[in-house]
Every structure is written in C-alpha cells, then in structure tokens.
Amino acid sequence: MKHYLLSYVSILCTVVVGHTLPAFAAEVVELSGEAQLIRAGTPQLMDEGIRLELGDLLMPNVDATLTVLCDNQRLWRVPSGTISGIGVGCPSRSTFRGLNSEYGPGGTDASIPYIISARKTMVSSDTPHFRWNPVGNTEMYRVQVRQGNTVIWQAVTPNAEILYDGVALQPGIEYRVTVETISDIGLGEFSDYDDGGPLIFERLEAEQVESVQAAIATIRATMEDPATQSAAQSAAQSVAIAHIYQSYQLYADAIATLETALMDGIETAEIHHKLGHLYGIVQLNHHAETHYQAAIALARGEANLDLLAHAQVGLANIKQVVGQSAERQEWLEEAIATYETLGDLTTASQLRELL
C-alpha cells in the first residue's frame, strides 16, 4: 500500500455549465481490489494517488477497500459495492464558511402558490413539469410562462401541477412561471409574493442534454438490473443520477429523481440529505428543513456520523436563512459535537467561530 501526501498547491476549479465549483482536492491513498471513478459520465479504473474533483462518483467493488484523503486531512473509507459522490465523504470547505451562499429566503408562506418547479433551474425538455404549493380552498389556478414581460403561454387548471405544452423553449433565454389563485371574485394570491426573488428557468443546450443522458446511461450500466437491485443499490443509483443532474444545474430533475425514490419506498439518510441541499439551492426552505431533519434522524439510526454532521450544518444554514437564530446556534453546536466525535477538530473549530 502506498501513502501519498496531499499537496496544498492551488487546484484549478471545475467549471460545469457556466458556473465554477469551489477549488477542491482529495486523493486516493489506499486501494486494494478494483474501483471505478465516474467523472463527467465516463468511467475509468482508479489507482492509488489519483486526484479527485468535486462531482466525481466513486464505486469500489464489493471486495475492494478504498480510502481517500480529503483536503482537510481527514481519511474517508468509501463504502464498497455502491456509488458514492466525493462530496459525501469530503465536502468542499466552503460548506463551513457560514451561510451557504447558494441558499436564500423563500418557500415558506403556505398561503400563496409559490413555485416548486421550475424554480431557479435548468430544464432538459420542451415540456417541463410545473408544480406549486397548493393553497387551501382554491378551486382553480391561472398559470403563465413569461419571457421578460411577455406572456408566451397560459393555462387554467384545478390542480397544483401542469405540463407545459407551449412554443419550444430556446436555450440561453430566461423564462419565468407564475401562478395565481382564482376565486369567485377574481384573481387572488400570487406566486410572486414569495420571498425567493426572480424564479427563472432556462432550457439546457441540446448537446448538454445528450451529455446528461449519456452520463445517466453509464450510471445505470454500472448497476445491476433494477429488478434484482437491493434497496441500498437503488438508493445509490438514484443519488448518483441526482449528482449528474445537479452538475448541469438540472435541479428540478435531480429533486424529481430523489422524490421518486422516496415514493418507491427507498429511503436513506443520503437521499434526504441530498434533497435538503437541493431544496436549499432553489430556496424552498420548508422542504429543505423537512429533508434535513429526516436525514439527521436516519443518519443517527445508521450511525453515519459523517452524513449526520453535514446534515446538521445544512439545517443550521436553513435556520439562518429563515431568521431562526437560536435554532441555528443549536444545530451548529450539534454539528461541532459530531465533528469532535469524528476527530475532525479543524472543522469543529471553523464552526465554533460562527457561533
């Protein structure tokens, strides 16, 4: 077994779909048996000493042992026989620098039909699925899609969801969906009353859609037939596919993938943690809080302290966004205690500075 010292030289950021991911470095320091690295949808066999990037997926064989040295000098033993995202065991250090800059207010007022999807996301088809918060005692909703100030499509529906069937959406153009409640006296509550700010969405370029589809096909090809998969394997596949969607800012697709897994009875701490983070990105804070809470409960039951700590930090971020300072401090203190139990005193110290 070879051991490699992790160099602290600058690592070029990974650029995905026009946005830059935080500088990140991790390294494989122990590998016995075979393990695959899936990067940008392309699988390759790993060797000791290989550098890992944010967004990488790791899949050691069932009989393999894979250990990664994270950029904070923590060692992570990667679970064998399943797919894990590098961010699960080696989160970017930016996670611990106070409020997650991706998070913001929104998605908490149950009295308005705030947008659930498509919200701050790329979409991969010309018929996106729109969903919004159902408002009590509402019989009908008016749904509009706008390009700038121009309404390019509208419909009326009694449901809190609808498929878009208007003109073809063009890449590079910002669109916005709005929803208003309809009553006997006219229009009522409006989705734009949400605190989330401009809730735009864009159509992904066709070539990038093909890349997404190829990456997902690769993930599915590495796993067993769905009919014979264990629950753990199905969960790992769902999380891996969600990672691919997230790397292309297809947040709505990533969320739908994981929510479908939950509806199919596949429930793990990692699925809930991923949903908590994704809902935080699109500023649906009530949803994010619900999933972070579920992740914390399941991680405790699974004795998964790494994931428990990440979920505690995520929930503290959400509590800060919604203005619950006392609860934020409680969850930061919980996270500090978990990191101290893990022996990660560096991260515990960073979090303590935020109290």
Q: 147: part of which helix (H) or strand (E)?
A: strand 140-147
Which band of pLDDT confidence, cut at 50, 70 and 90, is reported for residue 92?
low
The fourth-level CATH superfamily of domain 206-352 is Tetratricopeptide repeat domain (1.25.40.10)
Cα 34-39-43 angle, rounded to 5 deg: 45
State the pLDDT at residue 25. Answer: 65
DSSP sequence for 216-255: HHHHHHHSPPGGG--HHHHHHHHHHHHHHHHHTT-HHHHH
Mean pLDDT of 39-45: 80
Residue pLDDT, tens place only, 282-300 = 999 999 999 999 999 999 9
CA distance 272 to 259: 9
pLDDT at 15: 26
Look up the pTM and report it: 0.80
Q: In this model, does residue 5 exceed pLDDT 80?
A: no
Q: Residue 63 carries which DSSP code?
A: T
335-351: average pLDDT: 91
Q: How far is CA 46 from the centre of its chain?
A: 25
Please say if the pLDDT value at position 11 is more than 60: no
Which CATH number is associated with domain 115-203? Answer: 2.60.40.10
Lowest mean pLDDT among 79-93, 122-136, 157-171, 258-272: 79-93
Query: Given this chain, do its domains 115-203 and 206-352 carry the same CATH topology?
Result: no
pLDDT of 117 > 90? The answer is yes
Q: Within a 10 A sphere around the Cβ of 337, how many other Cβ atoms?
A: 14
pLDDT at 230: 79
Residue 310 has pLDDT above 50, yes or no: yes
Of 187-191, 203-207, 278-282, the poorest mean pLDDT is in 187-191
Tell me the HSE value of 236 on the side-chain side, using a 13 A CA sphere: 24
Q: What is the DSSP letter of 94?
A: G
Asked whether 124 and 209 are in contact (CB, 8 A), the reply is: yes
Sorted by where each begins, the domain ranges of the chain are 15-96, 115-203, 206-352
Q: How far is it between the farthest Cα atoms of the chain?
A: 75
Looking at residue 224, its pLDDT comes to 64
Which helix H or strand E contains 146, and what residues bound it?
strand 140-147
The SS3 of residue 30 is: strand
- Quick check: 56 and 39 in contact, CB under 8 A? yes
pLDDT of 8 higher than 80 = no
